Amino acid sequence: MKWRVGAGLLLVFILFFWWRHERLLPEDLITGHVEAGSVYFPAQNWDTATREFIAFTSFGSRILPYRWFLALEHADGQRLLRDDDVLSELGFITAPASPLNPDALPIGFSRDLDNLDPREWLGLTCAACHTGQIQVNGKDVRLEGGQALIDYTAFEQALLASLQLTATDTARFSRFISRLGMADVDTQPLRDELQQLIAFFEKRYAINAVEVPYGAGRLDAFGQIFNAIAVEALQQPENIRAPDAPTSFPVLWDASHMDVVQWNGSAPNIEPGPLFQNATTALAVYGKVSVNAHERFYPSSIRLDNLGRIQAHLYQLASPLWPTFAAGDLDAERVGRGEALYQQHCLECHTLVDRRKANRQIKAVLTPLDDIGTDRRMAENFVNARVKTGPLAGKKQWVLVGSAMPEEAATLDVVMHVTVGALMKNPWQTFKAIWQEFAFNALPPSHDNRVYKGRPLNGIWSSAPYLHNGSVPTLYDLLLPPQERPVEFYLGNWDMDVFRVGLKVDSGSFLFDTRLAGNSNSGHEYGIELAHADRLALLEYLKSL
């Protein structure tokens, strides 16, 4: 018996030192680009199979029956809701048919079986919010793990409008059931289910109603996660809190290597932290969980069998390099001057990363709100959120261990309890997922969550607009004093502004107003005193990261 214990410990030590040993990625996996049709893919250490897997693999989202989505008409009555031109207008990236995407839906849609319902269901994948595509001098450049520019709320509104009109318009309903192949069967059960789904969406949209629209590329993910669990899963309507602190969809490269993630650094990145984060996201994006006061564990739609593989692929992801094939070469002399300016003005908060290191570890810098001066709402909403625990009152905080849940608790504690309960419903799958995605990351610091995280800036050229709430359209504008930054600008245009480093904002589908609550472009007053030539040099260096 002793030799087995010794052998096991030896294996652990070997694995630990192997992991800590510096491993460099081959240059051909992280430099250059490939073309597929009209799209250019900068090398990011993912092959085609990995891109497909991430784009179309479910993590537990369940929106509506899959065949319904294919059969629904857009509200205008001229097109199907699933048509490329409809979903492109909402910011989704079109994709051809493939084994994982047989109906040629855009990136970010999944077809999956529900463990409680044998039908195929449509859901969203991680890639819906974390795949970018921009046009650089007329060339479409795909950014794996990049910031999506979908209008999440507009998609929800379009879906609800289609369902409502299908239920009330006789001719439209007839076309709907014909596409489903149900023209000659009793449709009353279908009508009943349609009404139930409409009622669900109407209730959810009322719960998440806000005065200031998010627009393209933003979502109050924490606010909607909190409502999905504290209001819907617990059936506690008094817990409704407006999700009124939208943030940009963060890029995913390097996220798996950091000690903490989320804009406010609130999530530790040592296991099982990443699994918890992804599971809660699944529940927020139309995942299902059943919370019962008399049950210890909670059945859910979370796809644990996929989450470990997804996270393992995200760990391998590298940031995209400046697309010289579309944007031209960088000025070496200007890059050199910019590097010195970066050391002086940026490095204290934005550490440099060697993207070649496969097992890089990154300690994020957390800056208090009073110091950074940017919009406070997201961080303060997170810290101040408290709710009634309802059916969880008296249960142990961590399901099997911990103190008893009080009648009122921090919303995060409620979310974590439900997530742990859902994961422990399938302990073997949970263990397998943790094993698949396991990585040695630095221990997170103990800190107040009234902070914002400064991440490494490699790939920053591709993730406009800037600041956590997307309130500054270009890096050039970010280096200006706040009073000189654009007060209004348009979102929804994918054309890159190569000079100012961001997106062109003179036209688009959504007008962003920085004077509205949660949209402030104040703060981050670093490098604002630079002369014009120095500002351009710093921009040139930022492009090179």
For 205, phi then psi, to 5°, come to -70, -35
Residues 25-53 have a mean pLDDT of 94
Identify whether the C-beta of residue 410 lies closer than 8 Å to the C-beta of residue 420: no
Nearest 5°: CA angle at 403, between 402 and 408? 125
pLDDT recorded at residue 285: 95
pLDDT recorded at residue 120: 94
Average predicted confidence (pLDDT) for the chain: 93
Report pLDDT digits (tens) over 54-103: 999 999 999 999 999 999 999 998 899 999 999 999 999 999 999 999 99
Residues 315-322 have a mean pLDDT of 97
Categorize the per-residue pLDDT at 217 as very low, low, confident or very high, splitting at 50, 70 and 90.
Answer: very high
Report pLDDT digits (tens) over 433-479: 888 877 767 667 767 889 999 999 999 999 999 999 999 999 999 99
The SS3 call for residue 117 is: strand
Q: Phi-psi region for residue 319, left (φ > 0), alpha (ψ -120 to 50) or beta?
A: beta
How much of the chain exceeds pLDDT 70, in percent? Answer: 94
Identify whether the C-beta of residue 341 lies closer than 8 Å to the C-beta of residue 538: yes
- Which residues touch 157 (CB under 8 Å, ≥6 apart)? 205
Report pLDDT digits (tens) over 97-129: 999 999 999 999 999 986 667 789 999 999 999
Lowest mean pLDDT among 51-60, 181-190, 408-417, 443-452: 443-452
For 410, phi then psi, to 5°, come to -60, 135
| Residue 427: C-alpha distances to residues 219, 276, 305, 419 (Å) | 31, 13, 11, 12
CB neighbour burial string for 201-228, b if at least 16 within 10 angstroms, e if fewer: beebeebbebeeebbbbbbbbbbbbbbb
Q: Which residue in this structure is represented by tokens 């520019």? A: 149
Quick check: 299 pLDDT over 80?
yes
Task: Name the token pair of 300.
Answer: 């859910």
Quick check: 12 pLDDT over 50?
no
pLDDT recorded at residue 114: 64
pLDDT recorded at residue 115: 63
Report pLDDT digits (tens) over 151-173: 999 999 999 999 999 999 999 99
Quick check: 16 pLDDT over 70?
no
Nearest one of 445, 446, 58 to 281, comparing CA atoms: 58
Where in the chain are the domains?
31-219, 221-319+355-456
Categorize the per-residue pLDDT at 6 as very low, low, confident or very high, splitting at 50, 70 and 90.
Answer: low
Q: How many residues does the chain have?
A: 545
Greater model confidence, 443 or 537: 537
pLDDT recorded at residue 20: 53
Which DSSP state fits 25?
P
Lowest mean pLDDT among 3-17, 245-259, 271-285, 397-411: 3-17
Residues 351-369 have a mean pLDDT of 93
Distance CA 347, CA 436 (A): 33
Q: How many helices (H) and strands (E) does the chain have?
A: 20, 19
How much of the chain exceeds pLDDT 90, in percent? Answer: 85
Quick check: 35 pLDDT over 60?
yes
pLDDT recorded at residue 147: 97
pLDDT recorded at residue 17: 47
What number of CA atoms fall less than 13 Å from residue 298's CA on the CB side? Answer: 30
Identify whether the C-beta of residue 180 lies closer than 8 Å to the C-beta of residue 73: no
Quick check: 261 pLDDT over 60?
yes
- Which residues touch 464 (CB under 8 Å, ≥6 apart)? 147, 473, 474, 475, 501, 502, 503
Long-range contacts of 366-371 (CB under 8 A, 24+ apart): 366/260, 366/265, 366/445, 366/447, 366/451, 366/452, 366/453, 366/454, 367/451, 367/452, 367/453, 367/454, 368/448, 368/450, 368/451, 369/450, 369/451, 369/452
pLDDT recorded at residue 13: 47
pLDDT recorded at residue 22: 67
For 200, phi then psi, to 5°, come to -65, -50
Categorize the per-residue pLDDT at 186 as very low, low, confident or very high, splitting at 50, 70 and 90.
Answer: confident
Nearest one of 404, 511, 461 to 42, comparing CA atoms: 461
Helix (H) or strand (E) holding 460: none
Categorize the per-residue pLDDT at 270 as very low, low, confident or very high, splitting at 50, 70 and 90.
Answer: confident
Greater model confidence, 117 or 241: 241
Please report the sign of the dihedral spanned by the C-alpha atoms of residue 223, residue 226, residue 232, residue 236.
Answer: negative
Helix (H) or strand (E) holding 489: strand 488-491
Distance CA 428, CA 294 (A): 23
Greater model confidence, 297 or 437: 297
Residues 405-431 have a mean pLDDT of 95
In 427-485, the DSSP E strands lie at 451-454
Categorize the per-residue pLDDT at 300 as very low, low, confident or very high, splitting at 50, 70 and 90.
Answer: very high
Lowest mean pLDDT among 81-90, 180-189, 363-372: 180-189
